[in-house]
Amino acid sequence: MTLRYVGMLVILAALAIIDTVILREAVIAKKSDAQYEAESEKRTADIRVLQNYLLVFNLFILLISAMTVFRPLVEKINLFIAAQRQAERALRRQTSVQQMLHAITAHANKSRDERQSFASCLAEVCAFTGWPIGHIYLVDRKQSKPLVSSDIWHISIAWATKRSPRATPRRR
């Protein structure tokens, strides 16, 4: 709204300058040749000023038009970029899950011992999730409790060294 009012004011100012030039032309017609030349030069300078104002006004209107025309395009481009970034994050996450599953499968296939296989797979899962501690529970369908705690644990070295003074009680 404000830009329209500014545009109208510029147009009114331009019309006022044009009216002034026309009135001068009428007055100049009644004057002598020397006065006519001086007034003619003044009129030419006024017309140049008017042309400069109109040029600036046209550039201003062009800039505003370009902003209104290109704004939806810029918004669509920003939405596209955001969607691309989200897709890239999802792809990275999926790739890291695939890599973890591949490593777990490799550990399970390499080891002949079931406990060693569980321990190495637990270490991979803890590394992937960022968990400092992991523990294996085994399924036992014969007992009343379906999950039975195993003695297979994973404790990260960084976590253990940071927590160990607090975890062990002080002895006298």
Residue 168 pLDDT: 47
In angstroms, the Cα distances linking 29 to 19, 33, 171 are 16, 9, 116
| Domain-located, residue 124 | no
Residue 95 pLDDT: 92
| Domain-located, residue 62 | yes
| Domain-located, residue 96 | no
d(CA 159, CA 97): 23
| Domain-located, residue 154 | no
| Domain-located, residue 8 | yes
Residue 102 pLDDT: 92
The beta strands (E) that lie in 29-144 are given as: 133-139
| Domain-located, residue 31 | yes
| Domain-located, residue 104 | no
pLDDT in tens, the chain (172 residues): 455 566 666 676 776 776 666 666 666 566 666 676 777 787 788 888 877 888 888 788 777 777 777 788 888 888 999 999 999 999 999 999 999 999 889 888 888 888 888 898 899 899 888 889 999 998 887 777 788 888 899 988 777 677 655 544 444 3
Residue 142 pLDDT: 78
State the first-to-last Cα distance of the chain, in angstroms, to the nearest integer.
81
Domain range for 27? 2-76
The two structure tokens encoding residue 68: 């209104």
| Domain-located, residue 105 | no
How many distinct structural domains can be found in the chain? Answer: 1
* pTM: predicted TM-score of the whole model, two decimal places: 0.47
User: 138 and 122 in contact (C-beta within 8 Å)?
Assistant: no
Cβ contacts of 117 within 8 Å, gap of 6 or more: 107, 108, 111
